[in-house]
Amino acid sequence: MTFEVIHEKGIHARPAMELVLLADQFDEAIYIEADGRRVDNKSIMGLMSLGMYKGQIFTLEVNGPNEKDVLDKLSNLLIDSGLAKRI
């Protein structure tokens, strides 16, 4: 699923940690890819290393038995918190 960062400050430390904590609740493999780099969404250091800025396009990938449910929950967090929009 593809998103665009819409928050003025990008995906900074606090919301990045919320994403990591949510992702960590699931057994599925969860990745975020931006600017040709792919990181584990369960790693705060990996996620922060992307430097997610306003306007950046990224993809969220979930692999595992409950892919759709996990993707929906992560997507809802991104959208409901005003961090990103689906494109």
End-to-end CA distance of the chain: 8
Residue 7 annotated among the catalytic residues of the structure:
no
Catalytic residue among 7, 12, 54, 73: 12
Residues forming the active site: 12
